[in-house]
Structures are given as structure tokens and as C-alpha cells.
Structure 1
Amino acid sequence: MKKKSKSTALFILIIAVIGVLAFAGFKGFVIGGYEFKSFDKVITRGLDLQGGVSVLMEIQQDKVTQEELQSTKEHLSLRVNKLGVAETIVTTEGDKKIRVDVPGLTNSKEIVDSLVKSGNLSFKGPDGTEILTGSDVKKAIAQPNQQEGGYEIALEFNDEGTKKFAEATGKLIGQQISIYLDDEVIQQANVKMQINEGRAQISGGKQTFEECKTTAGLINSGALPLPVKEVSIDNVGAELGTTAFPDSIKAGAIGVGLVFLFMLFHYRIQGLMANIALTLYITLTLFVFVEVGITLTLPGIAAFLLTIGVAVDANILIFERTKEELKKGFTIKSAVKKGQENALSSIVDSNMTTLLAALILYFVGSGSVKGFAITLMIGIIISLFTGLVITKVLVKLAVECGLINKLSHFGVKMNKGDEKHA
């Protein structure tokens, strides 16, 4: 009885936690003046769901290295975000093309003019006086800080830059030098001593390696700007989003509802446990979309709905194996355990195959194909957790607390005298 009470309490607790998470995600709430926003308010929608401009830029140079491509991408990303668009998506395509998606704006001329304009990198003192320009910088790299730990940006100046920087640092000891790209500050540092050798390190703070790498790329792009030209411009009207997004959500809700009904009808109480786990899967996946900052597009919605089918498939494999064991005469506890063990290899193999296909799509594809692949990969990983862990725990607790104690609870036809399996 003690074990049954403990299992019942844990079962109710898990159900309550899943219910609270689902309510918070889909409805949102306000508590203590803080608003927990629902998914529809915080998930970023792509160009095809809210309209905007998609510009494909090409670097006007025969041979472009990966470093130059990434540097130009970061440069363009910073430049277009100065338009006040926080949801801009900048991705590379091929060896020297960069696609810039700007949701919510329709003035393509303003966007293109901003992108093709050469960047103006400058180092300024605390009074705003220009010390040196991007042409004085030889290179900038991100590297580990051997003395203080963490990461730093190492700068190397050319001959002219070395002279200018030595003179400026001699005058500005204890003061701050700021690095600007056009009118935007991308880095600030305090001068500790005069620097004469033409090399400097920007350290301090809690910058990650990726942040230092991005800043170094912007400095390099300012020092060695690569000319770019628009290859194509696509204007996407917002009218599509006003119909496509609600329709896709409606279709998804109907599809999920039918899946829930099928699981209940075919697997009874065990199917109910799968539906609870599936609710958690949908909620967790959308939470990850928000935290990672995934931009939801129509292909992304399609991938998400596809992963719901993948998540259900894992439960079906387990439940069918469990029914097979029950028909062999095993007790409910033994059948549940054996069913989960026997289905494990099939579930892992099928999901790994799908994951591999998603990885290939991500590395080979571009644009919306990459978005589809990322959404698919996230869904597969979370579905493995909910299918192999959450459903397993829920069914086990349901058996222990007596909620599942008949063959009919598994959707297995009963013979007389077989109402219960001990």
C-alpha cells in the first residue's frame, strides 16, 4: 500500500507539472506583475508568415575564403539590424552568396542600399576623436586569454596603424577607446599602457569565444571590405501569413486531435499515457523553439507536425510489443517491461536514420531547407526523451497505482477468466 500511495502521488505530480507547462505555453499568464507570454506571442515567424523582403547578395570577388564569407555575413547582419529589425535572418549560400531575410519590412530599396554600402570602421577616443580607421588594421583574431582566462581579441596593425595607435595609447592611459562600425559601437576597451609594437589585446568582461570571433570578423570586414551586389530581391506580402499561419495551426490541431483519439481508441489507458507524454513533447519542443530563437516558417511547421508522428510511432512500437507479451500470458508488469525493452532497438534505429537524413538536409540544403532540417532534428531528439522516458515512467506508475490492471486497458481482447493478470 505504501508503494502504491507513493506511485500515485508521483503520477499526479508529473501530470500536474505537464499540465502547468502546457497551460503556460499555450495560454500564458500574469503573476506578480510578470507576464509569461504564450507561444504565439514569442515564437518568431518567418518571412512567409508575416511578409517582408528577401535579398540574395553576392560577393564581387573571384575567390572568397570561408573566413571572408563569414566576416561579410557578420558585417551585413550588423548593418541590416541597424534598420531596427531584430528578427533578421542572415545565412550563407554556396561559396560567396549571402541571403538576408528581413521580416516585416517592404522597402527593398532602403535595405539593399544599406547592404551594399561599404562599412566604415574606426577607433575613437573618449571625446569622439578618430584615432585610426579600418585600413590601419592588419588583422583581428579571437583567442584564449592565457593570463586571465576566458577569451580576448588580438589586433595587429600595419605600419601606419602602429604609429597612430602608439601615439593614441600614450595619451589615453586609463581611458577608453571605442571601436565603431559606422555609428554603432562594437567593442570598448580601457588603455592600460602605451602600445608601441603594433599588437594589442582586447580582454576583460565575460565574452564567449563566439562573441569574440564575431567582433573580430566585423573588425576584419571593416579593414578589408568585400564589395557585394544584390542578385535577387523577393518581396513577400503579409497577406499569405494572415491565411497560411492560422490554417496551418488549424490543420495541425486537427491532426494532433485525431492522433489522440486513435491512441485512446486503440490502446485505451496506455494510449492515454502516450497522449500525456505527447502533450509534453509538443510543449517542450515549442519551448526549445523560443529559447533557441528558431524562426518558424511553413516548412518548419511541416517538420514539427512530422516529428509529432515520429513521437507517436515510438509509443506504438512499445505498445504493440507489450500487447504481444500479454497475449503470450505474461503478467502486466512483465509485459510492460518486456515490451519497452524489445521495442528499444527499433525505435533508436528508426530515429537515428531520420536524424541522419535531417543532418544531410542541413549541411547540403540552404534557406528554408535548413530550417526544416533543424526543426526535424530538435523534434527527433525531444521525441526520444518523451517516448523512451516519460511514457515509460507514466505507464509504470499507472500500473503500480492500479490505474492499469486489466487487459482491456491495453486494448487487448479478453477471454473469460482473463480479466486480470497479476
Structure 2
Amino acid sequence: MLNRYPLWKNLLIIFILLIGALYASPNLYPEDYAVQLSGNRDIHQVDQPLMDKVTSALTREGLSFKAAELVDKSGLIRFADGETQLRAKKVISTVLGENYIVALNLAPTTPEWLENIGAGPMKLGLDLRGGVHFLLEVDMATAVAQRLDVYVSEIKVKLREDKLRYRSVDHREDGSLAVKFADAATRDSAAVLLRKDYNEFVFQTDDVENANFLTITLTERTTRAIEDYAIKQNLTTLRNRVNELGVAEPLVQRQGRNRIVVQLPGVQDTAAAKRIIGKTANLEFRLEAKPDDSRGLTETYEFRNEPGRKGVLEKDIIITGSSVSNAQSTFDENGQPQVSITLDNKGGQLMGRTTRNAIKRRMAVLFVEYKARTLVETVDGVQVERRIPYIEKKIISLATIQSVLGNQFRITGLDGAGESSELALLLRAGALAAPVYFVEERTVGPSLGAENIQQGVTSVQIGFALVLIFMLVVYRTFGLLANIALCVNLVLLVAVMSLLSATLTLPGIAGIVLTVGMAVDANVLIFARIKEELKNGLPPQSAISAGFDRAFTTILDANITTLIAAVILFAMGTGPVKGFAITLSVGILTSMFTAILVTRALVNLTYGGRKLKSLSI
């Protein structure tokens, strides 16, 4: 019968609508303002007595809270508003001191039965939820210097393997390497050998008094490539670290030649975020120096967890943390924390080659951190801050090599499971190719985010109301059916965004507003076609069928071209542009479903199978 859907199609549409309503419903449960408590080491854990101590302090200060609970070895205290949350954080921080991390958070209130089926609210971006914004600067000079230090070790190994005796290999302040030889013939042979494997250098021979030097300088092109690699590697590493933190839809992107922007929605405690994000930690593996080694070939370092104890190590670096492909925090047979290391192929070869000739000698794991001191100077009567970078190296462990090491081994001697977990995280996420320094840090408060949300919701409501009125006035009964389909479209849009764990930002709200207008565009095309068919003399039922069928191609073409534009925006854009592109793309797909199938189902239920003399359109 004309304009009647079969039962299975109606049931399918109803099923989709019910699923959409189910997965959109968590967004009806607003998040609670909360303060989260966690210990910064395993010896400082959050337990019930500690929670009782905190809640008692809040009660004494007259700060009411909705609930206090223990969740996965951390405490969570919920509050009714953001002002109480901020005041409570200060009180709790004073009570607990520096041994605990006290962070602002937003706690979900979604019913457990919805969470069990994978339903959750949309995640909110930095501009809506609040969070922290960091601007990091990459130390390019150190990136080049680090690469040159690796070249120094490689060149020494290469010369030894070919039995070319050298006096020293030094890294000069001007960025060049100076290899000193006893005679010119050996130097010239070394130059021929090294030119084959190191075409990224410019080689120059120099004779100074009784010494013969081979000066090696990086080409400008190679220097730029090292700097570009440092930025790209740091971007990858920072993204991995952010992912390990479990932050929803972070933004990590390059800005200019040597800066990186990091935005963490929902994170309000900058100190806790900086501890992982900005930590420029790496490892160096070196052999302990022999008693007869000259002082010029050795360096002395303190132990990280044993102040006063020192170890003398060879200057040559076997491998660094950049050779680590995986790291996991585990425990040894005595229950002591350790980190199980897996090296990449090149790292495994270098480790095997070195340890093969070092059985019963000790190898040190050196923990390297790049830090900076801020010095305030007065220049022409104006105080100016100057950042002075420095490197801190301390020994984690110094263990005897019992057998030849390959791609897998363990690091012990760590100060608790907390340190082993953090070290494993940093290594697993990847070593930063160059130090980064915090140029700017900014916290976007939840109150500002709430204001943005309210403005965004108001804009959607106004746009939605104007569209509803327009459709009712112009298309009457058909307009009413289109408005019902538009409501369904919004529900499905929110459901899909929630299922995809997409992040909603202010530009995303703009995409929703645009979707509201585009959602009825298809209905306008269909209804205009129905009117045209009625004018051409077709009976009402035939005009309805022809209107939907003949407008389909136009609707499909228009939506596909818009979808292509949205995909390009997502692929080429960053941050806010991606947020807009996501909501626009999802909105296009849901609006096509509602305009073509849902609206027609409603029209069929209203007019299908009836004898009609006219239509209210």
C-alpha cells in the first residue's frame, strides 16, 4: 500500500530511537564538583582514617559536602558547587601537607546500570570543563648536543673496531667534534673510514703543534633535521604521557619553531600534571670505571636514593632511554620493585656487544633529569627573569653483569613501587629528545567553563526555537512532523557523540547549532517537492511518495559534499577546528537518517493508506 512502511522497518526505527535515547540519557546527570586525594608515594596511602580526618576538618570549617568515598586507593569528596570545592581544596591541602596530592576534579553521577552497558556523558573540552594550559619550549641546542654525545660514543667504538688508535674524541663548545691522533697517517685513514658511514658531517683535517686533529662538523641540513626530529619526538612522547594520565581528548600540538602547546581538560592541579608532562627524564647505561682508568675518562656521580654514596663511571654511554621500546613496573622474587626493560634491535645489539666483554664488571643505570633555575636580575632598573638550564644525573642502580645482556633485562634499586611505576611510565611513553621548559601555564577554572556551557546551551535553544517556529508556520502539519524528527536528531547526535567519547567544545556547540539548521534543510527540499507535485496535478498520496523519492538524490549530494568538507577540516585542522568538524560530521549523518527515514515514518503514520483530498503543507 502506498506510503506505508513494513512492520520491520518501523520496529527498526523505534529500536534505533530507543538505543539513542538510552545512550544520550547520561548527559541528563550533571557532574559533581569534587576534590580527589592521592598519596605521592606508596608509603602515603589514602585510607578510611585519613578520610575521616579530612571530613572532620571540613566540618570544623563549616564546609558541607555531598559524599566522601574511597575509590581505587584514592579519596573522592563531592561538593554542591565550585566555590565550596575551591575552599575545601585549601583546607584539605593544609591538613594533609606535601605527602598527598590534592586535585580538583569533576565526578560523574551517571547511574551504575548505565555505566555497566557502556553509557556515559559527553566529555567536555578545556573551554567548557576547565583544565590546564601549558606552553613548553624545546631546548634545541641541547637536542643537538645530545645527538653529538651519541656520535662521540659511536665514533670511539668504530675506531676501536678498525684498530685505529686515537688519543681523544671531544665535543667542542662550537658544536663540532675533535678527534685527536698521534700521527697524520692514522688520522687520514680514520677520515676515509668515517666518511663512509657519516655523510651528515663535514670533515676537516688540522695539524696543531704535535697533534693531528680530525674536526667533524654537522651540516646545516642535518642540524635542522635533528631539531625537527626533537620537536616531533617530543610531541609523540608528550602525547603518550598524556594518554598514560588518562586525560580525555587532550591537545598536544606544535607552535612555531620550538614550542609545544599542551591542554588537559578537566585537570585543575598544575603541579601533578607538570610532574609527569614536563619531566625531562632519561636513562644512561654505563660501565663502572676500572681502578686504573685515568680521571679524564671517568665521571663521579651520587646515588639517587642514597645521599653521600658515590660511584665512578666510564664516560662512554652504552645506550640511552631512547633505545627502550617497552618498560613495565614489576616486583622481584623478594617483593622489591623493579622495572622490566625491553630494548629495540639496535639497543640490544649495543648492549650485547658491550656486556660480552664485561662479565663480572658492574653496570650503572644513570637517571638523567634536565632542569632549570630561574634567576632574577636587575637590568637598567627593571627586574628580568633568566632561565639557567642544568643537568642532574644520579645513579639508580649499580649491579654486577652476570651474563651477556640482550634486549631484555631489569632495573632494581628503586625507592618504592611509586617510583618504579613513574619511571616505567616515562620510559614506556618514550624519552624526550630534548629538554622542555615551561614558558607559560594557565588554569581555566570550572566557573568559566560553566558560563561557556550556559551560553552554548542558550544559543542552541534559541536556534532550535526559531527553526521550530519557522517550520510550523510555513509547513503546518508537515512542519510539526519535521520538528519531531529534529528533536530525534538532537537526541541521536548526543548519543553518537557520547558513544564515540568525543569531546564537546565551544566550536563543537557551533557545529550543533549549524546542524539544527541543516537538519531541516532536507525536509524543506522534500516538502517543496511535494508542493510542486501537487501543483502538477498528482494526487496527495502520489505527491508524498514522489516528493521523498525525487528529493533523495539532491539531499544525498548536498550532504556528501558537506561531509567531505567536514572530513577535510578534521584532517587538516587542529584543536577547535577538529571539534567543529566532529559535531558537523555526526550531525550530517544523524540528520540524513531522521530527515529521510524518521520524517517519512511519521508522515506514513499520519497520512499513509488513507484517502486524501488535500494535504496540510
Secondary structure of 2:251's match? strand
Secondary structure of 2:430's match? helix
Question: Deviation at 1:388?
Answer: 2.5
1:267 to 2:475 alignment: yes
Hey, what's the Cα distance between the residues in 1 that align with 2:270 and 2:330?
36
Q: What do you get for the CA RMSD once the two structures are aligned?
A: 4.3
> Where does residue 253 of structure 2 map in the other structure?
92
Question: Deviation at 1:113?
Answer: 4.2
Question: Deviation at 1:86?
Answer: 3.9
1:117 to 2:325 alignment: no
Hey, what's the Cα distance between the residues in 1 that align with 2:115 and 2:587?
23
Q: Which among 134, 138, 149 is matched to residue 344 of structure 2?
A: 138
1:63 to 2:228 alignment: yes
Question: Deviation at 1:285?
Answer: 0.8
Hey, what's the Cα distance between the residues in 2 that align with 1:49 and 1:248?
9
Hey, what's the Cα distance between the residues in 2 that align with 1:129 and 1:108?
28
Question: Deviation at 1:398?
Answer: 3.2
Q: Which amino acid is 1:68 matched to?
A: Q
> Where does residue 75 of structure 2 map in the other structure?
none
Q: Which amino acid is 1:47 matched to?
A: L
Judged with a 3 Å threshold, the aligned counterparts in structure 2 of structure 1 residues 282 and 218 are, in CA distance, closer, same or farther, namely farther
Q: Which amino acid is 1:308 matched to?
A: V
Hey, what's the Cα distance between the residues in 1 that align with 2:583 and 2:592?
14
Q: Which amino acid is 1:237 matched to?
A: G
Q: Which among 305, 309, 333 is matched to residue 513 of structure 2?
A: 305
> Where does residue 372 of structure 2 map in the other structure?
none
* TM-score where L is the length of structure 1: 0.66
Q: Which amino acid is 1:157 matched to?
A: G
Deviation per CA, 1:284-340: give whole Å up to 9, x if none.
110111111112111111111111111110110111011100111112232122222
Judged with a 3 Å threshold, the aligned counterparts in structure 2 of structure 1 residues 164 and 42 are, in CA distance, closer, same or farther, namely farther
> Where does residue 522 of structure 2 map in the other structure?
314
Q: Which amino acid is 2:242 matched to?
A: S
Judged with a 3 Å threshold, the aligned counterparts in structure 2 of structure 1 residues 24 and 358 are, in CA distance, closer, same or farther, namely closer
Question: Deviation at 1:75?
Answer: 2.9
* TM-score where L is the length of structure 2: 0.47
Paired residues for 1:167-246 under 5 Å: 198=406, 221-222=429-430, 225-246=433-454
Deviation per CA, 1:46-72: give whole Å up to 9, x if none.
221232211233544412289735631
Hey, what's the Cα distance between the residues in 1 that align with 2:447 and 2:329?
46
> Where does residue 388 of structure 1 map in the other structure?
596
CA contact (8 A) 1:72 1:226 kept: no
CA contact (8 A) 2:138 2:259 kept: yes
Question: Deviation at 1:102?
Answer: 2.2
Which is bigger in relative contact order (C-alpha 8 A, separation at least 6)? 1
Question: Deviation at 1:11?
Answer: 5.8
Hey, what's the Cα distance between the residues in 2 that align with 1:271 and 1:227?
61
> Where does residue 212 of structure 1 map in the other structure?
none
1:277 to 2:490 alignment: no
Hey, what's the Cα distance between the residues in 1 that align with 2:601 and 2:492?
17
Hey, what's the Cα distance between the residues in 1 that align with 2:353 and 2:489?
57
Moved more, 325-334 or 107-116: 107-116
Largest Rg, 1 or 2 = 2
> Where does residue 564 of structure 2 map in the other structure?
356
CA contact (8 A) 1:69 1:96 kept: no
CA contact (8 A) 2:541 2:612 kept: no
Secondary structure of 1:42's match? coil
Which sections of structure 1, spanning at least 5 residues, go unmatched?
140-154, 166-194, 201-216, 412-422
Hey, what's the Cα distance between the residues in 2 that align with 1:5 and 1:253?
34
Q: Which among 79, 102, 113 is matched to residue 34 of structure 1?
A: 113
Question: Deviation at 1:263?
Answer: 1.8
Question: Deviation at 1:240?
Answer: 2.0
Secondary structure of 1:157's match? helix
1:44 to 2:252 alignment: no
Secondary structure of 2:591's match? helix
Which sections of structure 2, spanning at least 5 residues, go unmatched?
30-108, 141-226, 283-320, 322-326, 357-402, 409-424
1:102 to 2:264 alignment: yes
Hey, what's the Cα distance between the residues in 1 that align with 2:110 and 2:472?
35
Judged with a 3 Å threshold, the aligned counterparts in structure 2 of structure 1 residues 292 and 218 are, in CA distance, closer, same or farther, namely farther
Q: Which amino acid is 2:229 matched to?
A: V
Question: Deviation at 1:230?
Answer: 3.4
Please state which structure has a larger fraction of its residues in helix: 1
Q: Give me the identity figure in percent.
A: 33
CA contact (8 A) 2:125 2:505 kept: yes
Judged with a 3 Å threshold, the aligned counterparts in structure 2 of structure 1 residues 313 and 32 are, in CA distance, closer, same or farther, namely closer
Hey, what's the Cα distance between the residues in 2 that align with 1:103 and 1:281?
27
Hey, what's the Cα distance between the residues in 1 that align with 2:579 and 2:4?
46
Judged with a 3 Å threshold, the aligned counterparts in structure 2 of structure 1 residues 12 and 232 are, in CA distance, closer, same or farther, namely same
Q: Which among 393, 405, 408 is matched to residue 612 of structure 2?
A: 405
Deviation per CA, 1:197-226: give whole Å up to 9, x if none.
9468xxxxxxxxxxxxxxxx9867536654
